[in-house]
Chains A and B, each alone.
Chain A
């Protein structure tokens, strides 16, 4: 016997799916801005391990050399990114959904067990509610990263009027590097997220669109 289990509230699904294109536009327009002065690299001294970014990368993603357009899109869609994110946080607080999302004192140890399980090094999973310990950490972390993007972004956008914010970030140049690094973080998050969604399968994906999962009804223990 199959049963429907309600999983994601409608509001959460809206916030999630709105954030996807908005963040994509923020990253794309951010790349348009960054390309005007693409000096960041991983390396030491004169040794460069990875340059951000090789020409082929810009060509592949169709990033034209148009700083003005990048700034315009970035400073329009920043509002949507901020408002959608703030509404999401407000919703999780008011609805009580935060209880399922925030890591608790067991989460950091359990997340390690979850990772062992996913690497097929461990058979069993720790007991979980809606999200496992690794998910709690990842989904709370990504929100803190979003807040970090707003703070570092505002520090870069108005470094004189919000000089205290710029100082908090360690100065103008540091705020830019932090803002850039957070973006790299989103891309890594996205890559892992997609892999996990594919591995978790259709029932899980449908949950993020339709809101419910289908489970086989099991006998409850007395």
Chain B
């Protein structure tokens, strides 16, 4: 420590300068917060988030998408750990009941090249089951048991365009009210399933009968129920919750 004799005046001056700078910094900080908080929202209505925040979320995706690996798997559990009462948290795009006589999967491989599939067309592919901890963006999680077809198996069998220039798979409900975009590395992850079973039985109506997406590497908002259409895109397809301020990537 440096000690020097000093007059009252010197103490006063140094204190004054320091607190002046301190005050200016507080003012700048408050100003910066005010500026950020009042930036225009990214989707033009009151449910979005400030544009600079969206830019950082997209930058976060660029960083953390590098950690995606087919060797990084969601933890799996023995089947008896699976919940019997599976939580139902969303019903957008789920109005009315469906049966498989009027349901078809519209599989758009390219403009003008759409396959119309029945549930049987999907069930003839190898079945994969998973028991994992389903994670909701709200914060709750639940161990649940699903059965269906690996998306990567499905893509290989129907020769889906899961390579460049396409970057995204897009899933849409039959009524087009709910829709998600999934980056292809996450879609092709070995635990990503298109499911027709829950707890060993056909999906209940409120869990997306007859076919839903289960993607353990993302929050539940991406696991769209009741798939009507699947298509591919080089750009980000519209995403229901991303339009309402949530992170597009939503990866875990």
CB atoms of A69 and B245 under 8 A apart: yes
Residues of A close to B8: CB separation below 8 A: 2
Query: Which of A42-50, A81-89, A110-118, A208-216 makes up part of the contact surface?
Result: A208-216
Known: A72-B49, A160-B73. A3 touches B5 (CB 8 A): yes
B60/A67 in contact, CB under 8 A: no
Quick check: which of A30-38, A91-99, A141-149 contacts chain B, the rest being far away? A30-38
Which of B64-72, B78-86, B174-182, B199-207 touches A? B64-72
Using known A-B contacts A3-B3, A71-B247, determine if residue A158 contacts B50 with beta carbons closer than 8 Å. no
Q: Are B140 and A75 in contact, CB atoms less than 8 angstroms apart?
A: no
Is A68 touching B244 in the complex (CB atoms < 8 A)?
Answer: yes
- In the complex, the answer to whether A75 meets B57 with C-beta atoms within 8 Å is yes
The answer to whether residues A75 and B245 also contact, given A68-B47, A210-B19, A211-B18 and a CB cut-off of 8 A, is: no
Q: Which residues of the partner chain B approach A36 to less than 8 Å between Cβ atoms? A: 137-139
Which residues of chain A are near B217, meaning CB under 8 Å?
Answer: 160
Complex contact B72–A161 (CB within 8 A): yes
**Interface on chain B toward A: helix, strand, loop, or mixed SS?**
mixed
Is A15 among interface residues, defined by CB-CB distance under 8 A? no
Which DSSP category, helix, strand, loop or mixed, fits chain A's interface? Answer: helix
State A213–B138 Cα separation when bound (angstroms): 48
- Contact across chains for A158 and B251 when beta carbons are under 8 A apart: yes
Within 8 A of B (CB), among A139-177: 158-163, 172-173, 176
B88 at the interface (CB under 8 A from A): no
Q: Are A160 and B49 in contact (CB under 8 A)?
A: no
- Distance (Å) between the CB of A93 and the closest chain B CB? 20
Answer whether residue B6 sits at the interface, using C-beta atoms and an 8 A cutoff. Answer: yes
B139 near A176 with CB under 8 A, answer yes
Interface size on B, residues (CB 8 A): 52
CB of A21 closer than 8 Å to a CB of B:
yes
Residue of A71, A76, A161, A173 near B141 (CB, 8 A) is: A173
Contact of B6 among A2, A25, A72, A79 (CB under 8 A): A2
30 A-B pairs in the complex with CB atoms less than 8 angstroms apart = A2-B11, A3-B3, A3-B4, A3-B5, A3-B6, A6-B2, A21-B29, A25-B33, A34-B139, A36-B137, A37-B139, A37-B140, A39-B139, A66-B245, A67-B137, A67-B246, A68-B49, A69-B49, A71-B137, A72-B57, A72-B245, A75-B56, A75-B57, A75-B60, A76-B57, A158-B252, A160-B252, A161-B68, A162-B67, A214-B11
Given contacts A3-B6, A68-B245, 16 further A-B contacts (CB under 8 A): A21-B33, A66-B245, A67-B138, A68-B49, A68-B241, A72-B245, A73-B53, A75-B60, A75-B247, A76-B53, A76-B57, A160-B74, A160-B216, A162-B67, A172-B135, A210-B17
Q: Which 10 A-B pairs have the closest CB atoms?
A: A68-B245, A210-B18, A37-B139, A161-B67, A36-B138, A72-B53, A72-B49, A76-B56, A37-B138, A160-B252
B-binding residues in A (CB < 8 A): 1-6, 17, 21, 25, 33-34, 36-37, 39, 66-69, 71-73, 75-76, 79, 158-163, 172-173, 176, 206, 209-212, 214, 217
